[in-house]
Structure formats: structure tokens, C-alpha cells
Amino acid sequence: MARLHKKIRQDALKEKLQTSPFLTDEDLAGLLSVSVQTVRLDRLEMGIPELRERTRQMAQEAQIKLRSIASGEVVGDLIDLDLGKSGISVMTVTPDMVFEKNRVARSHFIFAQADSLALAVIDALTAVTGVANIKYKVPIHVGDKLIAKAEVVKKRGNKYFVWVKTRNAKQEVFRGKFIMVSLE
């Protein structure tokens, strides 16, 4: 009976990480109602690396696929890329990214993450931003981890319509609708 419970728990752990690969061991422990140590032991037994290693592996795989911009030009860490379809980048707000007076993140950093991700998902050798319709929804602060997800929603001729939504741990903080233009 204990083996059955363990198998069910490990299947649930694997499923949670497939849908949300950025969950920490602490997050997983809470979701599965087990101790952090149990999560770590299950991960080790299943050959699943810790969060930092999972993120690093995803970033390496994503950067190999880039076409329209160089990997060093992506703002944030590109961790998933399906050219012509979607991508994900992660960025942690650092002290140099905020205004000194109110400690709120400067908007151009959040925009740069979204814009460079929108460019990264384009399946073209050369592309530029044609139009950006953006909305900042809540203030962002030092230490916030921003996860931006881009999706190509339509392609018409040499134009790609890309939506980027950025979240912190609690909510959506930024949304952008971009028209990216392939110059090929």
C-alpha cells in the first residue's frame, strides 16, 4: 500500500513540474501535503534536478533555437522557446532597475523583457518591433521575479502578432500586444 501512495505522489510531482517547472521544493511540498525532505527524496529517486538546474537546462535548450536576435540580446533569461509559437523568459528585478526615490521598477526594463521575448519567438532571421500596445498593471519592486510568456497569436504576411503577459509570484503585472515585422 505504501508503494502505491509513493507512486501516486511521484506521478503528481512529475505532473506539477510539467505544468509549472518553476515550483520550488517548498511549493511542491505544500501542494502535495508532504515534507520538503520527501519532495527532495522523490526528485532524487526520479532523476529530477533541483529548480536552479532545471532552469539552467531549459535556458540552454531555448537559446540554441534563437534566430531573430542573439542570446545576449534577450533581456532576462530565456528558458523556453518554440519558434513561431511561444516562449518564456524570467527576470529578477535588481536594485539598479528601480527608481531611487520610490524603489519601483523602471518601466523600460519590463518592456525590454517583453519586447526581446516577442522578437525571440519570431521564426525569421531578421525582425523588428512594428507596433507595441502595452499596459503596466501594478508596481514592481526589487526582488520580484518576473515570468514573461509570449505567444504568437496570428501571422499575416511578414507580420507576427505576439501577446506577452508578465507575472510576478502573485498576479499579472504587465501585458503587451506586439506586431513584429520580419525583414526577410
Distances (CA, A) of 87 to 43, 121, 149: 26, 6, 6
**Statement: residue 104 has pLDDT above 70:** yes
pTM exceeds 0.85 for this model: no
Question: 125: pLDDT confidence band, cut at 50, 70 and 90?
Answer: confident
Question: What's the pLDDT score for residue 179?
Answer: 97
Question: What's the pLDDT score for residue 150?
Answer: 97
pLDDT tens digits, one per residue of 148-182: 999 999 999 999 999 999 999 889 999 999 999 99
> Do 150 and 119 meet the contact criterion of CB atoms below 8 Å apart?
no
CATH number listed for the domain at residues 2-48: 1.10.10.10
pLDDT tens digits, one per residue of 60-101: 666 666 555 665 678 898 888 888 999 999 999 999 999 999
pLDDT, mean of residues 19-29: 83
Residue of higher predicted confidence among 58 and 134: 134
Strand ranges, E, within 43-158: 77-82, 86-92, 127-136, 145-156
pLDDT, mean of residues 128-139: 95
Domain-by-domain residue ranges, the chain?
Answer: 2-48, 56-182
Cell of residue 52, nine digits: 536552479
Of 72-76, 117-121, 143-147, 151-155, the range with the lowest mean pLDDT is: 72-76
- Euclidean distance between CA atoms 174 and 184, whole angstroms: 30
- Residue 58 has φ and ψ, to the nearest 5°, of -65, -40
pLDDT tens digits, one per residue of 36-58: 899 888 888 888 878 777 777 76
Query: 60: how many CB neighbours lie within 10 A of its CB?
Result: 12
Task: Out of 3.50.50.60, 1.10.10.10, 3.10.129.10, 2.40.110.10, select the CATH number for domain 56-182.
Answer: 3.10.129.10
- Euclidean distance between CA atoms 70 and 116, whole angstroms: 10
Distances (CA, A) of 128 to 99, 156, 183: 28, 15, 8
